[in-house]
């Protein structure tokens, strides 16, 4: 092999190795920030065809309805715990912070945090979702007395 081809080969190997290292580092960094979503049933029973359960200490998101009567607040701090449910088992969420204004019992929430044990999540963030019938008070006041039509999303006939 002549020196010129040898130099090109080494350059190509260096470029491919560098690109591989950059891709590997990017995948490693992304893997640290992936939060898989689980429902309470998937958290307890497992997810997917292999019924894989998250490991203790894994970051995840859990979503479900807050079980009425399950919200327990610590009077000395901002700690609160509550149960969430979908159609099966109950999972417990523990949170230390200010809950969103839309948080209520019987309301859908999504909590992001770390799995403490088989069905308990230490949340770092709790998101509450308003229902689809919500309308800002200013708009409701403006529409008071007027007939307004709801959009018909399910009707495909024209």
Q: How confident is the model at residue 139 (pLDDT cuts 50, 70, 90)?
A: low
Give CA angle at 38 (32, 39), nearest 5°.
165
User: Average pLDDT for residues 105-110, to the nearest whole number?
Assistant: 88
CA separation for the pair 126, 62 (Å, rounded):
10
pLDDT at res. 147: 56
- Identify which of 102, 56, 105, 100 has the alpha carbon closest to the alpha carbon of residue 85: 105
Higher-confidence residue of 132 and 57: namely 57
The answer on whether 148 is annotated among ligand-binding residues is no
Asked if 55 and 84 count as a contact pair (C-beta separation under 8 A), the reply is no
- Identify which of 32, 61, 52 has the alpha carbon closest to the alpha carbon of residue 126: 61
Q: For residue 41, give Cα distances in angstroms to 30, 63, 91, 111.
A: 26, 10, 8, 15
The answer on whether 130 is annotated among ligand-binding residues is yes
- Identify which of 68, 69, 63, 57 has the alpha carbon closest to the alpha carbon of residue 93: 63
User: Average pLDDT for residues 119-139, to the nearest whole number?
Assistant: 80
pLDDT at res. 107: 84
pLDDT at res. 131: 67
Cα pseudo-dihedral 140, 146, 147, 151, rounded to 10: -40
Q: How confident is the model over 24-76, as pLDDT tens digits?
A: 999 988 877 777 888 888 888 888 888 888 889 888 999 888 999 999 999 99
pLDDT at res. 126: 93
Q: For the chain, give the percent of residues with pLDDT over 70.
A: 84
């Amino acid at each position: 092999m002549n020196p010129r081809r040898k130099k090109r080969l080494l350059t190509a190997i260096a470029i491919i190795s560098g690109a591989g290292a950059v891709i590997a580092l990017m995948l490693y960094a992304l893997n640290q920030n992936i939060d898989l979503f689980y429902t309470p049933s998937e958290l307890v029973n497992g997810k997917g065809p292999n019924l894989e359960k998250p490991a203790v200490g894994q970051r995840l998101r859990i979503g479900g309805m807050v079980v009425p009567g399950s919200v327990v607040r610590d009077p000395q701090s901002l700690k609160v715990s509550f149960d969430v449910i979908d159609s099966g088992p109950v999972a417990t969420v523990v949170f230390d912070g200010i809950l969103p204004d839309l948080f209520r019992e019987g309301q859908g929430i999504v909590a992001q945090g770390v799995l403490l044990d088989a069905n308990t999540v230490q949340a770092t963030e709790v998101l509450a979702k308003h229902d689809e019938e919500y309308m800002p008070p200013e708009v409701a006041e403006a529409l008071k007395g007027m007939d307004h039509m709801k959009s018909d999303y399910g009707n495909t006939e024209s």
